[in-house]
Amino acid sequence: MSGRKKNNLRTPFTTRQYMNARDYELYYYNDSNPVQTKEHAHDYYEFYFFLEGAVSLAIDGVKYPLRYGDVVLIPPGVMHQAVIHAGNKPYRRFVFWISMNTCNSLMQESVTYGYLFQQVQTRKKDYIIHNDMLTFHMIESRIFRLLEELSGSRFGKDAECAVLMRELILFLSRLVHDQAAEDRQKEYRDLYEGLLEYLDVHISEELSLDNLAETFHVSKYYISHLFKNKMGISMHQYIVKKRLSMCRDAIAGGGKISEIFLQYGFSDYSGFYRAFKKEYGITPQKMKEDISKISTKKT
């Protein structure tokens, strides 16, 4: 869409904070001398798409600095206010209002539409979706298509607007879903790496699912599943193998077996002996003797 066409879709700014339409309203604001609005709340959902300006959004008393491509979804009843930091800078944004009844109707059509609205209610006040330039261009193009259709009078306008509105909601729902999945993967990866690092440092200490769960503030079942999924073995098996490997290296380095097994977390020799022989097919003493013979031959 050309710049001239986009400019024709601009909306004169209004301080009105209620909907005239039954289902939804969409605005494209571009203010050269922006007006500071008062803090307020709505009885509908507000989507705010930030394009340009020196602006923060205060939501529930917390200020969020905005950058190009940010999408903000504000649920009904949440107090918010656009805080303008420089009144001499252009302030551009899209504002999309959608009623709760329309949201409920969409969710009855498909739970996919409802994902977006449910997420903003459960994401611990994480109202803002940050987007790269390419992703936001894809959002912007959908908004302009809907604006253009809303401003026209072509045959089938209502039907086309309904399709385009659903397409926008679906795109945003997919975006939030994919970002949430990426966040979960990162948390999963960070926890896994943190656990391995912790076990390396504390390998000689008493280690259990219970104390690891307490240290990392997650359930022991989650840790157990993580190890099984990533390693193919239980956490206990991993710890035993790690300790045995360190004991083997210490024995190869000439350490005393009577000190080594205690140093690396085994509480008694008999348990260490059985585990070592099962893992390497040889007793600790026999390994020490074989290593000593090899060293003697070399000298």
> What string of pLDDT tens digits covers the 299 residues of the chain?
656 667 788 888 888 889 999 999 999 999 888 888 899 999 999 999 999 999 999 998 899 999 999 999 999 999 999 999 987 888 999 999 999 999 999 999 998 888 888 877 766 567 888 999 999 999 999 999 999 999 999 999 999 999 999 999 999 999 988 887 887 888 888 999 999 999 988 988 888 889 899 999 889 898 998 888 888 999 889 999 999 999 999 998 888 999 999 999 898 899 999 999 999 999 999 988 888 777 666 55
Report the alpha-carbon distance of residue 155 to residue 142 in Å, rounded. 20
47: β partners = 73, 96
Report the alpha-carbon distance of residue 264 to residue 204 in Å, rounded. 4
Three-state DSSP at 106 gives: helix
Report the alpha-carbon distance of residue 204 to residue 148 in Å, rounded. 68
Question: For residue 25, what pLDDT is reported?
Answer: 96
Question: For residue 290, what pLDDT is reported?
Answer: 84
The first and second tokens of residue 125, run together, are: 């006040």
Distances (CA, A) of 239 to 139, 195, 215, 245, 298: 48, 11, 17, 10, 34
Question: For residue 80, what pLDDT is reported?
Answer: 94
Question: For residue 187, what pLDDT is reported?
Answer: 85
Question: For residue 57, what pLDDT is reported?
Answer: 93
Q: What are phi and psi of 96, to 5 degrees?
A: -125, 120
Question: For residue 11, what pLDDT is reported?
Answer: 87
Question: For residue 295, what pLDDT is reported?
Answer: 61
Question: For residue 188, what pLDDT is reported?
Answer: 87
Q: Give the gyration radius of the chain's Cα atoms.
A: 31
Angle (CA) 228 232 235, round 5°:
50
The first and second tokens of residue 153, run together, are: 């009078």
155: β partners = none
List of domains in the chain: 3-184 (2.60.120.280), 202-299 (1.10.10.60)
